[in-house]
Amino acid sequence: MLTEDQKANNSYHHGNVKEALVDVAMQLIEADEVELISLRRLSKEVGVTPSAVYNHFSDKNALMLAIKLRLYEDFNRFFDGRSSQTDNPEQALLEMCLAYYHFSQEQPSRFHFLFSSTLPLEWSTPEMVEISCRSIVKTRRLVLKIYEKYQISCNEEAIVNTTLLVWSQLHGIVTLKNSGSIQAAVAYQDWPESCALAHDEEVEQLIRIHVEMTVNAILNSQRSGNHH
């Protein structure tokens, strides 16, 4: 439930009801109360009639789209802030992967909402596609640069598959860290303590290994091609 202070902050001059409604939804996400997000609930918090809400959002899917757009803007801004603008594609890829992890740690509620809630495909507006795909498009560009750096021939399928592997393995590392299941394996299966993913340094090291293995796999694909 929102606190009285939060409700007081929602006393808007209703010049921009749409933004006010999304602001309240973001507060509910931060409070891990996503299940309370509804058009009726938000209208009450903002202090407008339910009919006024429908002037901005036709239904809950439209509201969720606006929330996701706001979250992806924050997500992309976080990535931009963690980029050194290096010309080295391997370093740039590592920075993106580390930023992904740190976003999940610094803004866990937003991270969970982004990757646990889905919208119907028909709601994927051009704006939504551009904003939500911005980081993976950058990753694809960096993967292509790695292939080009080492003068390794490739096709679009190889580039996209490598990009998907980078993201899926990275997301797996982050999910395992957040679940705590690796710490249980270390405690009860005699795994090395350094593999527990209990601290940022351990996760960052595993992400570095992940990126190195990706680059080595690209290089090995060239050797394999030459062998045949």
Domain positions in the chain are: 88-227
Is the pLDDT reported for residue 97 higher than 70? yes
User: Which stretch of DSSP H or E encloses residue 123?
Assistant: none
The percentage of residues in the chain with a pLDDT greater than 70, rounded to a whole number, is 90
Return the axis-axis angle of helices 60-81 and 108-116, rounded to nearest 10°. 130
pTM for this entry: 0.86
In the CATH scheme, what architecture does the domain 88-227 have?
A: Orthogonal Bundle (1.10)
Is the pLDDT reported for residue 225 higher than 70? no
Average pLDDT over residues 26-53: 91
pLDDT for the residue numbered 11: 46
The CA-CA-CA angle for residues 149, 77, 37, to 5°, reads: 130
Terminal Cα-to-Cα distance of the chain (whole angstroms): 63
